[in-house]
Amino acid sequence: MKNRLKVLRAERDWTQAQLADRLQVSRQTVNAIEKGKFDPSLPLAFKAARLFEMSIEDIFQDEAGS
């Protein structure tokens, strides 16, 4: 699954640690999601969508469907 987490984070000038703090996960988790090594759960994806005030589809894209 691809995602725009890194771009959205950079637009807001947040560090990985700051985003992790806002999402209530560890920095390692944010890093793994950004690198596409780990797919977040639906609740975490919703939390990210709420934080960036976007829909889930605007942040996460299914590679098979794209």
Partner 1 sequence: MNDLKTDSTDWATANKRNTTRLGYWTFTWVATMAVAAFGPKLIWSYATVPTIIAVLVNLGVGFGMIVANRRYLRGLDELHQKIFLDAGALTLGVVLVCGLSYELLNEVRLISFEPQFSHLAILMSVTFLIGMISGHRRYQ
Question: Is residue 31 within the footprint of partner 1 (CB under 8 A)?
Answer: yes
Stretch that binds partner 1, among 2-10, 20-28, 55-63 (CB under 8 A): 20-28
Buried b (16+ CB within 10 A) or exposed e, 17-40: eebbebbebeeebbbebbeeeeeb
Question: Is residue 61 within the footprint of partner 1 (CB under 8 A)?
Answer: no
Task: Let me know: does 7 contact 31? Beta carbons within 8 Å.
Answer: no
Question: Is residue 22 within the footprint of partner 1 (CB under 8 A)?
Answer: yes
Residues that bind partner 1 (CB under 8 A): 21-26, 28-29, 31-32, 37-38, 40-41, 44, 51
